[in-house]
Amino acid sequence: MSEQGTVHAADYLQRADALRASALAAVPANVLEVLRVAKRLWVVPHERPDADALGAALGLKAILGQRGAEVAVISADAPPAVYDVIPTIREVALEAPDWAPDAIVLVDCADPRRAGRIGDLINALPAATPRILIDHHVSNETTWPLAWVDAHAAATCEMVSLIALALEADLSADQGRLATTLAAGVIMDTATFQHGNTTPRTLEVGGLLLAAGAPISEISRKIYRSKPLAQVQLHARVLASLTTADAGRTVFATMMLADLTESGANLEMSEGIVDALAHVAEADVAIFFKEDGPAAARISVRTKGDGPDATAITGAFGGGGHARAAGATIERPVSEAVALVLARVTELRAHNVAG
């Protein structure tokens, strides 16, 4: 009987050997070569980083660290407290180190603009500094020559796990802490292997990380089923604003900044609300509107079944994401953003019927 959270060395080595050939086939050779030779790297997640961006960045730090490289993980925003589930989360820096990198790696996004103020630092580096991109977003249209974009990967952490195998790194290192770091991202982006983005390879990587010491069940509970009281109260308040449109096929809710202050919650505690909206069985589009100042709203969109492509909804407002989960920022007050986005969804539904 195997126990989660402990390293099962023989099982791990067998699984690593079984997956290595497909890892080597998947990771572009030019990306792998730069990762092999770089001695000092900056690894940068997108702004407002989630467990996949943080896990991928910190996982790469540990993997390249095994090869003797010095790696700084630099984030525009501090990691939300819920991601303390990642054992090395304190290694995230909010400022660049005093040394220049000989390569940078941008993870879980398409463009330095998504990395906020750290993206500006990347753009200011000498043009000769190699820039690597590792991402799984279908909306990624990068022109960087050193890019590995795999829209079939469930998570960037799935891709980084394959990079580890290709570089012959030990995913079971540090009593399973590295495996835990990468598993956090896979669990985040698949909702613990529940989303349709989960492939046989995702489960193989999950099995590999489990054998390497990741406590899958405990990570999932900490990310998805453990919340402070103020957060549950915030969710109750926001879900009370639930409204339907398009004859019930669209559900949406709004969160004003006053909802945060009055429930004693913070912005990161709104995580998960859009997924609760998506629970409505009769709806195939769920939209969560968050007030982001007097003239800005952030939207998170989930779609299912015959609902339109989520990136077709958010793309109209300069956003991006995946077919079933996407987001955007709209420079309008929430009430105007609601009207604009609902009109866009109705228009896409009409187009689907016509097309």
For Mn ion, the closer CB: 189 or 309: 189
Q: Residue 211: which residues within 8 A CB-CB, separation 6 or more?
A: 2, 7, 8, 11, 12, 15, 172
Radius of gyration of the chain (CA): 20
Q: How far is the CB of 285 from Mn ion (least distance, A)?
A: 21
Mark the segment that binds Mn ion (CB under 5 A) among 58-66, 100-108, 140-148, 324-332: 100-108
d(CA 73, CA 81): 17
CA-closest candidate to residue 290, choices 241, 349, 348, 346: 241
Which amino acid belongs to residue 203? L
Mark the segment that binds Mn ion (CB under 5 A) among 187-195, 250-258, 291-299, 310-318: 187-195
Q: How far is CA 161 from the centre of its chain?
A: 15
Per the rule left: phi > 0, alpha: psi between -120 and 50, beta: everything else, 152 is: alpha
Mark the segment that binds Mn ion (CB under 5 A) among 150-158, 222-230, 309-317, 321-329: 150-158
Residue showing the smallest CB distance to Mn ion in the complex: 52
Beta bridge partners of 106: 44, 133
The answer to whether residue 292 forms part of the interface with Mn ion (CB under 5 A) is: no
Tokens of 120: 């500006």
For Mn ion, the closer CB: 263 or 303: 303
Q: Of residues 108, 259, 284, 309, which one binds Mn ion by CB under 5 A?
A: 108
The answer to whether residue 52 forms part of the interface with Mn ion (CB under 5 A) is: yes
Q: How far is the CB of 136 from Mn ion (least distance, A)?
A: 6
The answer to whether residue 135 forms part of the interface with Mn ion (CB under 5 A) is: no
Mark the segment that binds Mn ion (CB under 5 A) among 153-161, 256-264, 303-311, 332-340: 153-161
Beta bridge partners of 73: 43, 92
Q: Residue 261: which residues within 8 A CB-CB, separation 6 or more?
A: none
Q: How far is the CB of 19 from Mn ion (least distance, A)?
A: 20
d(CA 287, CA 200): 30
d(CA 284, CA 351): 16
Q: By CB under 5 A, what part of segment 163-182 binds Mn ion?
A: none
Q: Of residues 150, 189, 259, 284, which one binds Mn ion by CB under 5 A?
A: 189
Q: How far is the CB of 322 from Mn ion (least distance, A)?
A: 9
For Mn ion, the closer CB: 132 or 238: 132
For Mn ion, the closer CB: 189 or 284: 189
**Site track for Mn ion across 8-47, x = CB under 5 A:** ----------------------------------------
For Mn ion, the closer CB: 50 or 291: 50
Q: How far is the CB of 99 from Mn ion (least distance, A)?
A: 28
Strand runs labelled E in the chain: 40-45, 70-74, 92-93, 103-107, 131-135, 147-149, 243-245, 250-255, 285-291, 297-303, 320-321, 325-330
Q: How far is the CB of 85 from Mn ion (least distance, A)?
A: 16
Mark the segment that binds Mn ion (CB under 5 A) among 116-124, 183-191, 212-220, 236-244: 183-191
3-state secondary structure 176-213: HHHHHHHHHHHHHHHCCCCCCCCCHHHHHHHHHHHHCC
Q: How far is the CB of 88 from Mn ion (least distance, A)?
A: 18
Q: How far is the CB of 289 from Mn ion (least distance, A)?
A: 22
For Mn ion, the closer CB: 228 or 315: 315
**What number of chain residues touch Mn ion (CB under 5 A)?**
4
- Cα 172–178–182 angle (5° rounding)? 115
Binding region for Mn ion (CB under 5 A): 52, 108, 156, 189
